[in-house]
A and B are shown apart, each in its own frame.
Chain A
Amino acid sequence: QGLLRRSVCHSLPSFGSITGACRAIQKLTRVRVVDNSALGNTPYHRPPKCIHVYNKTGVGKVGDKILLAIKGEKKKALIVGHKMPGPTMTPRFDSNNVVLIEDNGNPIGTRIRTPIPYTLRRREGEFSKVLAIARNFV
C-alpha cells in the first residue's frame, strides 16, 4: 500500500509519475500518515509531502522530525518507518510511514495501528506520548 496509485481503498485519483528508489525521506517525498488523526485520514487531491527535514543532512530516517504539507497546511511529523533498508535486525517497511505531531511533541491522533520499530524506544524521553499510543511493535 505504499504508492497511492495502487491502493484502491483510498478512492483517490492517480497522481502522475512515480519515482522508484531513493528511499529514505527527504524533501518532496510522499509519505503515508499512519495514525487515526482527522488531518491524516481525510482524502485530499494531493498526497502529504515532506517539505523539510530537521536534520543536519536533508535525509530523514526513523526517529527524525520532518515538516509535512497536508491539505494546504504545514504540520510537523515523526518518521516511524521507511522503505530504505537500514541496519540488519531492523525492520524495513513497504511504505514511508509518518505520525503527525505538534511542536511540543504531542501526537495529534489517538491510536497507531501499524507496527512501529523498537528503535524508537531508545528515545523514550522525546517520544513517550507517541509510543504510548502505538499498538504493535516490530
Chain B
Amino acid sequence: RVSSDGKPPKFQPPPKPVIIDRKTKKEESRFLSPEFIPPRGRKDPLKYYIERKDMIQRRKVFNIPEFYVGHILAVTTANPLAGDKSSRFVGICIQRGGTGLGATFVLRNVIEDQGVEICYELYSPRIQAIEVLKLEKRLDENLMYLRDALPEYSTVDVNMKPVPRMDHEEIPVNKVQVRMKPKPWSKRWERPKYNIKGIKFELPEHKMQAAQKWSQPWLEFDMLREYDTSKIEEKIRKELSEELEK
C-alpha cells in the first residue's frame, strides 16, 4: 500500500476471524445407517418403529461404528467352539444388506490363497466388537465382483493396525480399477444392469458394445420406481437424536 507522506500509514484492523461452525455442519451431513430406512411397502410403520426402538437400545449398549462398503473391518464374535471363546475376522466389507434388526454385512478376505466371506448380522448379540481399520469408500456400493477379481484386491492383512483418521469430515474414495480373472465370471459384470465403475474391463470393444444391448435407459425415468427417502430420513434422524440423548 502507498503510505501517506510523512504520517504513519492508516491503521488497518486485522482481518476478522472466519468462524467455521463445525457442529452445525456435522448435523447436516450426519450418517444414517441404511438399515434404519424402511423398505417401500404397505406394512404398518408401527412395526418399523418398534424395530428401530430395539435397534437404538442395542446401539446404546454396543457401539456400531459408521462404515460403508469398501471399509476394512475387524469383527470379534463370541464363539464357544473357539479357543478363548472369541474369534476375530478381518476383511473388506463388500455388501450391506437387510433392514431393521436383520441388517447384515459381508466381509471378504483371502487367507492362505483361499477366499473366505462371512456374513455378519449387525445387531447380533454374539458380536463383541467391530473396529474400523481403514476408512475408504469405493466407486460402487456392491463389491461382489471382487470374487471374480484377482485375489490381491481382496487380501487384507490380518494384523493390520487401524489407520488413524485424518479429517473428521470426509471419507476418501478409493478410485482403484480392479483387474479381473479371465472370464467366465459369476455374473456378467460388464452389463449396464450392475453399473460397475470399479473394474478395468480388458474386454474387446465389440463385447463391451454387445453388453450395452441389455441397457434399460428408461429405468431411471420410471416414476413408479422412485422412492424418495429424504422426509423419512429426517423423521428417523429426529427420532434417533431424541432417543440417544436420553
Contact = CB atoms under 8 A, between A and B. Distances in A.
Interface string B82-121: 1000010100000000000000100000011111111111
Contacts of A89: 77, 118-121, 124, 126
B81 A119 contact: yes
Interface stretch (A36-44, A48-56, A58-66, A90-98): A90-98
Given A20-B186, A121-B81, A122-B81, A92 B114 contact: no
A90 B116 contact: no
Contacts of B119: 85, 88-89, 92
A47 interface: no
A22 interface: no
Interface in A103-138: 113-115, 118-119, 121-122, 136-138
A92 B118 contact: yes
Nearest to A118: B81
Interface in A57-96: 81, 85, 88-95
Contacts of B117: 91-94
Contacts of A94: 114-117, 147
A93 B111 CA distance: 10
A115 B120 CA distance: 18
B181 interface: yes
Contacts of A95: 114-115
Contact of B113 (A1, A81, A88): A1
Contacts of A121: 81-82
B6 interface: no
Interface residues of B, number: 26
> In the complex, which range does the number of interface residues on chain A fall in?
20 to 34
Contact of A1 (B79, B81, B114, B184): B114
A91 B181 contact: no
Q: Is the interface of A mostly helix, strand, loop or mixed?
A: loop
Given A94-B147, A122-B81, A138 B118 contact: yes
Contacts of B115: 1, 93-95
A132 to B, nearest CB: 14
A95 B121 CA distance: 23
A44 to B, nearest CB: 20
Contacts of B182: 6
A89 to B, nearest CB: 6
Q: Which of the listed residues A1, A88, A92 has the most CB atoms from chain B within 10 Å of its own CB?
A: A88
Contacts of B126: 89
21 contacts: A1-B113, A1-B151, A6-B181, A89-B77, A89-B118, A89-B124, A90-B118, A91-B117, A91-B118, A92-B116, A93-B114, A93-B115, A94-B117, A94-B147, A95-B114, A114-B111, A115-B112, A115-B116, A121-B82, A138-B89, A138-B116
Given A1-B114, A6-B181, A113-B112, 20 more contacts: A1-B115, A1-B151, A18-B184, A20-B186, A85-B119, A88-B120, A88-B124, A89-B119, A89-B126, A91-B117, A92-B116, A92-B119, A93-B116, A94-B117, A115-B116, A118-B82, A118-B87, A119-B81, A121-B81, A138-B89
